[in-house]
Amino acid sequence: MDDHDARKEALWRLTTGDGPGVIVFSGEIDFSVTPTVRERLLELVGKTGKDIELDLADLTYIDSSGLALLLELRKQLAETGRSVAIRSISPQVRKLFNLTQLSDLFGLTD
């Protein structure tokens, strides 16, 4: 990994949360990091056989490639009888979910 890649990765984090199936996103997710985020996300999802809860409270930005990744995750989990829901979300990312009408797909209520 060169310095440029390290700086890009420093802009986002993906970790396990405080319970089974909880995945915490933080920072910024855009097209330049989405492939790496996808690898990390699938790694974390693969470690649990549970439904997934996303904590997006510390996610400050996500673009269309990041949204597409979350939709892909939802589809993959549904194929195995699992689900994904968002348990917390930052105000700026919530606006995007509302604008794109994705809120209901991820269990967000107003």
Q: Report domain extents, the chain.
A: 3-106
Residue 109 banded pLDDT, cuts 50, 70, 90: confident
State the chain's mean pLDDT as an integer. 90
Q: Is the pLDDT of residue 7 over 60?
A: no
Q: Give the CATH fold of the 3-106 domain.
A: Transcription Regulator spoIIAA (3.30.750)
Please report the pLDDT score of residue 4 as a whole number: 47
Please give the DSSP secondary-structure letter assigned to residue 2: -
Q: What's CA 101's distance to the chain center, in Å?
A: 16
Which of 3-17, 27-41, 61-75, 92-106 shows the lowest mean pLDDT across its residues? Answer: 3-17
Alpha helices (runs of H) in 1-110, residue ranges in sequence order: 3-10, 34-46, 64-79, 91-99
